[in-house]
Amino acid sequence: MSSLNPLNALPHGFTHRRRRGAELFLLVLALMVGIGAYAAVGIGVEETVPVDIVAYGGWLAVLAVGCHLVVRMRAPYADPVLLPIVVALNGLGLAMIYRIDLARDTDLARAQLTWMTVGVVLFLVVLLVLRDHRRLQAFTYTSGFAAIVLLVMPLLPVLGTEIRGARIWISVGPMSFQPGEIAKVLLVVFFAGYLVLHRDALALAGRRFIGIDLPRGRDLGPILVMWLVSLGVLVFQRDLGSSLLFFGLFLVMLYVATQRPGWLVVGGSLFAIGAYAGYLLFPHVQSRVDVWLDPFDHPNGYQVEQSMFGMAWGGLIGRGLGLGSPDTIPIAESDFIFAAIGEELGLTGTMAVILLYGLMVERGLRTALVCRDAFGKLIATGLAVVFTLQVFVVIGGVTKLIPLTGLTTPFLSYGGSSLVANWAIIALILRVSDQARRPLPELSSDDPEHGDDATQVVKLS
């Protein structure tokens, strides 16, 4: 507390620098990664640079620079590292999808570039329209209601569509969309607003067990509701990944808001009970677990087998872009794009990708640490946790660390719903970051608002 300056709410020695020049430099490096990978794929497969490299690279540059300019104008104090990381991952994902297109004679990369454009447009809209993240707190329960509606929509007989055993899509004419991707963003807003209002009651300790203060029985309602919702997603939509994501997200945010380890004990116990019941009751969960235990002795283990062979063939430095056989892995452009990267870029490439994701999550959590208001802290934490859980369950499933869940790898995998939603998440984190890193106005001691601001800063710190 003594190291905080009540006028600017930041530690002594912290310099208010916008760092937009650093962001632009990193964006150039990120574009080199994406465009260079695209060119390398063409050389590896067709022994020539793709004929559309100028148009492709130019459009990527337009999107990246457009994002940079809007951030520079509307969020000048935002984190300078997040946007370059996203551009690098998205560019690498486009290159890998293009690689699979050349092997299978498809045209998914062009569609993915279109979805990236839509995602960038939404990114810009969020930054331009939402000037202060705290305004979202007024829509706490509206966001929760909208999230429930979106989760229920795939179950409707007219709109809902079942794809690969999971009923998580809605179809309107020739277009299909996964509403759960938008629901996860709305759930973060709802959880953050709800926990800010009720965290004092939820933080009260109940019985003590093995040195851990468990929550009171009367306060178990919210976590039981989320447990039932996650089970409902598992039962009715057969989506193991989203079920894990929603429950894990609420549990982590609840722990951050209350700082009570007892909630982790209760939540972990409920998760174990739900997972075991799901395994006993639902054949698709049993199939996922059996494939995880022994893919070579299961009729549905071919996908995992091929991904393991591909990553093993890639070795330390990979076969080279365009020189592997990622098309032998079913759904390599989506669920198993990490295995395709492992084959062509090797362990080195996969570790680089994991490092980028780690930096992305770290910057989100750093934003939460320096944020001045509790709502912003929980928003930034929740959005960072969304990426954490997605990356863990996807890469963990591909590498056979855990059973497959069905989520997509953020910014790498083919899929418009996920890509657009993830760009919106990055925009929200940057908005919170800009508010957190922006210096407070130098208020005089006789300013009637000075005392309230200083008091609020001390309380939140």
| Predicted local confidence at residue 119, as pLDDT | 96
Name residue, tokens 């062979």.
Answer: 309
- Cα Dmax for the chain: 76
Q: What is the 3-state secondary structure (H, E, C) of the chain?
A: CCCECCCCCCECCCCCCCCHHHHHHHHHHHHHHHHHHHHHHHHHHHCCCCCCHHHHHHHHHHHHHHHHHHHHHHCCCCCCCHHHHHHHHHHHHHHHHHHHHHHHCCCHHHHHHHHHHHHHHHHHHHHHHCCCHHHHHHHHHHHHHHHHHHHHHHHCCCCEEEECCEEEEEEECCEEECCHHHHHHHHHHHHHHHHHHHHHHHCCEEEEECCEEEECHHHCHHHHHHHHHHHHHHHHCCCHHHHHHHHHHHHHHHHHHHCCHHHHHHHHHHHHHHHHHHHHHCHHHHHHHHHHHCHHHCCCCHHHHHHHHHHHHHCCCCCCCCCCCHHHCCCCCCCCHHHHHHHHHHHHHHHHHHHHHHHHHHHHHHHHHHCCCHHHHHHHHHHHHHHHHHHHHHHHHHCCCCCCCCCCCCCCCCCHHHHHHHHHHHHHHHHHHHHHHCCCCCCCCCCCCHHHHHHHHHHHC
Which amino acid is it at 256?
V
Residues 377-394 have a mean pLDDT of: 94
Mean pLDDT for the chain overall: 84
| Predicted local confidence at residue 112, as pLDDT | 94
| Predicted local confidence at residue 208, as pLDDT | 58
Which range (88-92, 273-277, 393-397, 408-412) has the least confidence? Answer: 273-277
Identify whether the C-beta of residue 324 lies closer than 8 Å to the C-beta of residue 309.
Answer: no
CA 299 to chain centre: 32
The domain limits of the chain are 20-438
Q: Is the pLDDT of residue 297 over 80?
A: yes
Give 57's pLDDT tier (boundaries 50, 70, 90). Answer: very high
Q: Is the pLDDT of residue 42 over 80?
A: yes
Token pair of 301, please? Answer: 């283990």
Task: Kindly state the percentage of the chain with pLDDT values over 70.
Answer: 85
Give 441's pLDDT tier (boundaries 50, 70, 90). Answer: low
| Predicted local confidence at residue 225, as pLDDT | 78
The candidate with the shortest Cα–Cα distance to 252, out of 230, 241, 270, 267, is 267
DSSP secondary structure letter of residue 158: T
β-strand partners of 4: 11
Q: Quote the CA–CA distance of 364 and 50 in Å, as a whole number.
A: 36
| Predicted local confidence at residue 455, as pLDDT | 37
pLDDT tens digits along 7-35: 344 444 444 578 889 999 999 999 999 99
Task: Kindly state the percentage of the chain with pLDDT values over 90.
Answer: 49
Which range (88-102, 105-119, 157-171, 235-249) has the least confidence? Answer: 157-171
Q: Quote the CA–CA distance of 276 and 260 in Å, as a whole number.
A: 25
Most confidently modeled range among 67-71, 180-184, 241-245, 437-441: 67-71
Q: Quote the CA–CA distance of 404 and 149 in Å, as a whole number.
A: 26
| Predicted local confidence at residue 68, as pLDDT | 96
| Predicted local confidence at residue 402, as pLDDT | 87
Identify whether the C-beta of residue 65 lies closer than 8 Å to the C-beta of residue 32.
Answer: no
| Predicted local confidence at residue 410, as pLDDT | 93
Q: Is the pLDDT of residue 3 over 90?
A: no
Residues 398-406 have a mean pLDDT of: 85
Residues 397-403 have a mean pLDDT of: 89
> 416 or 96: which carries more pLDDT confidence?
96
Residues 217-240 have a mean pLDDT of: 71
175-177 vs 160-163, strand pairing mode: unpaired
Most confidently modeled range among 119-123, 180-184, 291-295: 119-123
166-172 vs 160-163, strand pairing mode: antiparallel
> 242 or 130: which carries more pLDDT confidence?
130
Could you tell me the pTM of the whole model? 0.88
Rounded (10°) angle between helices 82-104 and 53-74: 160
Give 164's pLDDT tier (boundaries 50, 70, 90). Answer: low
Q: Is the pLDDT of residue 295 over 70?
A: yes
| Predicted local confidence at residue 53, as pLDDT | 94
Q: Is the pLDDT of residue 352 over 50?
A: yes
Neighbours of 210 (CB within 10 A): 6
| DSSP percent split of the chain into helix, strand, coil, nearest 5 | 70, 5, 25
